[in-house]
Every structure is written in C-alpha cells, then in structure tokens.
Amino acid sequence: MMKTALALCAHPDDAEFMCTGTLALLHQKGWQIHIATITPGDCGTAELSREQISKVRKAEAAASAAFLNAGYHCLECDDVFIMYDKPTLLKAIELIRIVQPAIVFAPSPDDYAIDHEMTSRIVWTACFAAGIPNVKTREKPYGCVPYLYYVDPEEAKDKLGNQIGASCHIDISSQMVLKEKMLCCHASQRDWLKAHHGMDEYTASLKRHAGMRGKEIGVEYAEAFRQHLGHAFPQDNVLKSELGNLVK
C-alpha cells in the first residue's frame, strides 16, 4: 500500500474544516498528502469576479496545503453547479489515477450544500472506477480501490436537521493549532461568510465543531468520519492501523 492520502472536496477550505487534523497526523506518520477541490470556489465572494476570486482562492488553498508539504489540485468545475456527469467524473477518475491514494476523504453524502453531496457521489464513483480499463483517461488505470471515508457534514447534521453519527473519531488535539493556521490561509472566506451569512466566526466554528466531536470521546478536539463499506471497498479501518490509540 502506497502511503498516500487524498482529500477531494467541493471547495477550498472544506478540507480544513473537516479533515486536516487527521491529514496532519498521517503526514507525521510518513504519508504523502494531497488536497483537491472540484471547484476553485468561484462564487465565494461578494465583490470579485469569478476569475478574480478563483485565482485568490486557489492561491489560498495551495498555501494551506503547503503546511503539510501537500500537493493542491483543482478540477476547475463551476461553484454551485457541480454535476454528476461524465466530464466531471472523468476529471475525478483521472485525479485518482494520478495521485494513486490508499486513503480518500470525501464530503458527507448528506449535507447542507448540494455541491458537497454531488462531490461525495463523484468521489465514490471515481474511487471505484479508477481501476476499470475501459474507462479511458489520459492516465492508466489505478488497480486499487482505496479506503474511502466521509467527513462530517456542517454542524454534523443533514439538510433536515437530523444528527449524523460517526463510525470513528480521531483525536486531533495535538494538531488543532496547525488546523487553525491552515484554515486562516483562506482569508477571503472570512470576509465572504461575514457578508453572505451575517457571521464572523470562521475559526470559532472550527473549534466548536471539533470540540463537540472531541467531547464525544473524552478529548479536547476530534474529527469524525464514516467509512464507506460497500462492495469492493476495503473493510478494515486503516486509520486505526495507522493512528492507533488516537482512533476511537
């Protein structure tokens, strides 16, 4: 197994909210890390054009990824308009073939934003299809179905307000300062959320969510995941194997 992990999210800063503490722990164990987004987050502004904010947000994402010596990739689809269609799937499949991850983190199948839900399904298919020879991309098939983990939805609830449980928690207390630094690279989004959502609690919400998940297992901060255990996907918990007692 190649020790490579990929977080494939919808937008820049999604990974920072939900899984960079775990990525940092894997990095400490010698794993190579990649962070990717389906879109450049080109609707995340009240002031700039799509082209201008895309450039800003991709630079912010790359700066954040650099904390983990990680590669950053963008599939250049349109924010708000992520589609489960052949062009988008082929981009995601090709990325899996390029990166060749053993572990993939994806958005929750149930979330407040349809972009997140579509990305979740795209990543699921890409992980399954990356090894199929008759699915043609510029890259050769990747003959390993990776471990697939879904991150928490926003506020750990679905769009109907139902709480979402977890199949495992990771104690990220030792990585919380780094996780916050990575999120703060996305300075453009603090301004956007303040303008659009009427709130200025970018890092506060990060700590609140991680603190809530941490309390569930008796630690200060945690990230929570659900493992994809459908047919053809690995059934053991590789995060437990790699991170030991930090996994509950």
Q: When comparing pLDDT for 194 and 59, which is higher?
A: 59
Q: Which of 44-58, 110-124, 218-232 has the lowest mean pLDDT?
A: 44-58
Please give the pLDDT value at position 7: 98
Please give the pLDDT value at position 195: 62
45, pLDDT greater than 70: yes
- Output Rg (C-alpha) for the chain, integer angstroms: 17
192, pLDDT greater than 70: no
200, pLDDT greater than 80: no
143, pLDDT greater than 90: no
- Residues near 150 by Cβ (< 8 Å), separated by ≥ 6? 105, 106, 107, 108, 109, 120, 225, 226, 227, 228
197, pLDDT greater than 80: no
Q: When comparing pLDDT for 207 and 190, which is higher?
A: 207
- Residues near 177 by Cβ (< 8 Å), separated by ≥ 6? none
* pLDDT per position as a tens digit, 110-139: 999 999 999 999 999 999 999 999 999 999
186-198 core/surface letters (b: 16 or more CB in 10 A; e: else): bebbbebbeeeee
198, pLDDT greater than 90: no
pLDDT tier, 181 (very low <50, low <70, confident <90, very high otherwise): very high
46, pLDDT greater than 90: no
Please give the pLDDT value at position 189: 83
The pLDDT of 25-39, averaged and rounded, is: 98
The top-level CATH class assigned to 4-241 is: alpha beta
Please give the pLDDT value at position 199: 57
**Tokens 């164990």 identify what position?**
29
Please give the pLDDT value at position 194: 66
Query: From the CB of residue 199, how many other CB atoms can be counted at a distance below 10 Å?
Result: 12
Domain segments of the chain: what residues? Answer: 4-241
Stated as kind and residue range, the H or E segment containing 14 is helix 14-18
Please give the pLDDT value at position 47: 85
